[in-house]
Amino acid sequence: MVMDLEWNGSWSKKAHGYFNEIIEIGATMLDERMQKIDGFHAMIRPVVSKKLTHLVTDLTGIEADELKDGLSFEEAMQQLTEWIGGEPTVLLTWSTTDLLVLVENYRYFFKRTHIPWLHSYADAQAYCQQHMECEKNQQVGLSRACDMLGISDEGLTAHRAQDDSEMTARVLAKLYEPESFVKFLRPADEEFYKRITFKAYIIRDIHDPAVKREHLSFRCPACHRRLKPKKDWRFFNQSFFAEMPCPGCGKEYTARVAIKKKYEGVAVKRKLTEKVPKPAEPETITQGVESHE
Ligand SMILES: [Zn+2]
């Protein structure tokens, strides 16, 4: 089953923060060959905030008036569960954002951390990106994917839940290979929920145990000597900075390291910039970006 959601973000006292309330659900049921069997659609009457943000109205064209006769989230989920019909269901969404929003809504309205009908999950965007000619680490939007694959979106409206789910289904049908798809399936177990609800954050303390010596170690691109920071590392702009003169050739560098704590480990971005009075060729001044999982 491919699902797409539209939601409205608002401040919620109960959620102690920003909450993305689902206002529209679209789903397309597919067979084993990724061919459409059936569709599901529901508009949901928001209760956290009846006022829709401009962002939502501009993107989706949904007006608050349209939602007055919508279902409650509870009713919509009941209908969806009946529509699914007790079969073990694989859920697919275009990027994990919709999955996370669904989990948050379940938690908010049902006080449940698990989605009862969800057996396994696959990120359709991650799968499709790996099977299309596109640059690594580049996020491909759904309409862009349709363009690239020559898939017609005739009669479909982008940024509306049901049509987006149908578009995702068409992209999948085009790229689907059972052997490679299996590798993208994640069972919806305890670890799965922990992973998706983990909030990645930038490490601000240089003495954090996740900060390893190699993250902060640089060599001079010119003479390959190991650089030493002139003073302590400073944190600003989401990164650690240090002045690094080369003890060999005397060139002066600024090192920038950003370390993000993710569920599966740390992601490190490193950059070394030479301090030069006159502009130098770009390839000599940056060491580039390096990632550690
Ligand atoms: Zn040097």
pLDDT digits (tens, 9 = 90+) for 96-105: 999 999 999 9
**Distance from the alpha carbon of residue 290 to the mean position of ligand 1, in angstroms:** 20
Residue 281 clears pLDDT 80, i.e. is over it: no
Same domain flag for 66 and 181: yes
Same domain flag for 57 and 10: yes
Q: Which residue reads 């996370």 in tokens?
A: 100
* Structural domain ending residue among the three candidates 173, 197, 221: 197
Same domain flag for 58 and 173: yes
Same domain flag for 125 and 147: yes
Q: Tell me the CATH number at 52.
A: 3.30.420.10
State the pTM of this model. 0.75
Same domain flag for 13 and 79: yes
pLDDT band at 177 (very low <50, low <70, confident <90, very high): very high
Same domain flag for 172 and 244: no
- Residue type present at position 70: G
**Distance from the alpha carbon of residue 240 to the mean position of ligand 1, in angstroms:** 21
* Structural domain ending residue among the three candidates 174, 197, 220: 197
The pLDDT score that the predictor gives to residue 286 is: 47
Q: Among residues 78, 27, 26, 74, which one has the least CA distance to residue 47?
A: 74
Which residues 6+ apart lie within 8 Å of 8 measured at CB?
20, 21, 23, 46, 49, 52, 53, 56
Same domain flag for 43 and 188: yes
Residue at 291 is within a domain: no
Same domain flag for 192 and 217: no
**Distance from the alpha carbon of residue 225 to the mean position of ligand 1, in angstroms:** 6
Same domain flag for 261 and 155: no
Domain that holds residue 257: 201-285
pLDDT digits (tens, 9 = 90+) for 231-277: 999 999 999 999 999 999 999 999 999 999 998 889 999 999 998 77
**Distance from the alpha carbon of residue 231 to the mean position of ligand 1, in angstroms:** 18
Residue at 290 is within a domain: no
* Structural domain ending residue among the three candidates 146, 177, 197: 197
Residue at 213 is within a domain: yes
**Distance from the alpha carbon of residue 226 to the mean position of ligand 1, in angstroms:** 8
- Grouping H, G, I as helix, E, B as strand and the rest as coil, residue 203 is coil
Same domain flag for 154 and 46: yes
Domain count within the chain: 2
